[in-house]
Amino acid sequence: MSWDPLPQKPTDTDISLKVIVVGDAAVGKTSLTGRFVTGAFSHAYKATIGTDIFRKLVKVDGRRVGILIYDTGGQERFRNLVERYFMGAIGALLVYDVTNRESFVNLPTWSRQVDRHASGAMKIICGNKVDLANQRSVTTDEGTGMGLQLGGTFLETSAKDGSNVEEAFTKIAQFGLDRVRGRATF
Ligand code: G3D
Ligand code: MG
C-alpha cells in the first residue's frame, strides 16, 4: 500500500483496508458486519455460505477510509479457511458469543490462524451478544484476560443494540491509517 502521493484521479477513498471477521458459527459475525454497514440489526441475514464482502466508507482523521469487510461462514467448523481469505488483512475481528462458552474457548485457535496468515494484523476480540445479560456464561474479566493473552484489544459488543460495533471497526481503520503513514506503534 502506498500513501504518498495522494491519488490525483477522482476517487471516493484515500485508502482501502481489508478487515476479516472470524469466529465460530452463530456468534454474530454477519450481524456485526450488517450492523456496521447498514446501521441496523436484522434477523433476516441468512447463514453465510462462503465469503461475503461488504464495503463501508468511514472518515478517520479527515481521511476517507474504505473498509472492505470479509464476512465468512460455512467453513467455521473446519477452522481452516483458505489463505486467500486472510491475505492482506490489516485487522481482524475475533468474535465469540458471551452466552456460548465454547466459542470463547475456541478463540486462541482463530487467533493463531490470523497470526499465521495475516501476520501483523490488529486483532479486536469481540465478546458479542452482551444484550443477553441473563444468559451470559463468559465474564467481562475473562474477556479482558483473553484480549491480553492473544495480544488484541478487547471489546464487548452487541449487534442487536449496536454497542461498540462502530468502535470495533473504527479502531482497525485508525490502526490501518497509522500503519500506512508509518506511525503505527502496534
Ligand atoms: P454468524 O455470522 O457468526 O454465523 P449470525 O452469526 O450473524 O448469523 O448470528 C447468529 C444468530 O445470533 C442470529 O440469530 C442473530 O440474529 C443472533 N445475533 C447476532 N448478534 C447478536 C447480538 O448481538 N445479540 C443477540 N441477542 N443476538 C445476536 P437467529 O435467531 O436470527 O438465527
Ligand atoms: Mg455469517
- Domain presence at residue 86: yes
- Domain presence at residue 1: no
- Domain presence at residue 136: yes
pTM, rounded to two decimals: 0.89
Q: What is the pLDDT of residues 51-89, one digit of tens each?
A: 788 999 999 888 899 999 998 875 655 555 567 788 899
Ligand approaching nearest to the C-alpha of 28: 1
Q: Maximum distance among all alpha carbons in the chain?
A: 53
- What residues contact 159, with CB distance under 8 A and at least 6 apart? 28, 31, 32, 34, 35, 41, 128, 129, 165
Strand partners, 155: 126
Determine the structural domain holding residue 44 and report its residue range: 10-181
Instruction: Report residue 46's pLDDT band, with 50, 70 and 90 as the boundaries.
Output: low
Q: What is the CATH number of the domain that holds 153?
A: 3.40.50.300
Instruction: Report residue 5's pLDDT band, with 50, 70 and 90 as the boundaries.
Output: very low
Q: How far, in Å, is the centroid of ligand 1 from the Cα of 173?
A: 24
Instruction: Report residue 99's pLDDT band, with 50, 70 and 90 as the boundaries.
Output: very high
Which residues does a 6 A CB cutoff place in the pocket of ligand 1? 25-31, 43, 45, 47-48, 73, 128-129, 131-132, 158-160
Ligand approaching nearest to the C-alpha of 26: 1
- Domain presence at residue 72: yes
- Domain presence at residue 2: no
Q: What is the pLDDT of residues 135-183, one digit of tens each?
A: 999 999 999 999 999 999 999 999 999 999 999 999 999 999 888 887 6
Q: How far, in Å, is the centroid of ligand 1 from the Cα of 28?
A: 4
Instruction: Report residue 6's pLDDT band, with 50, 70 and 90 as the boundaries.
Output: very low
Instruction: Report residue 12's pLDDT band, with 50, 70 and 90 as the boundaries.
Output: low
The 10 Å Cβ neighbour count of residue 142 is 15
- Domain presence at residue 4: no
- Domain presence at residue 51: yes
pLDDT > 70 fraction of the chain, expressed in percent and rounded: 82
Instruction: Report residue 42's pLDDT band, with 50, 70 and 90 as the boundaries.
Output: confident
Q: Give the pLDDT of residue 17.
A: 94
Beta carbons of 69 and 176 less than 8 angstroms apart: no
Q: How far, in Å, is the centroid of ligand 1 from the Cα of 186?
A: 31
* Atom number, ligand 1, closest to the C-alpha of residue 161: 23
Structurally, how many domains does the chain consist of?
Answer: 1
Q: How far, in Å, is the centroid of ligand 2 from the Cα of 185?
A: 32
> Burial level of 88, CB count in 10 A (0-12/13-18/19+)?
middle
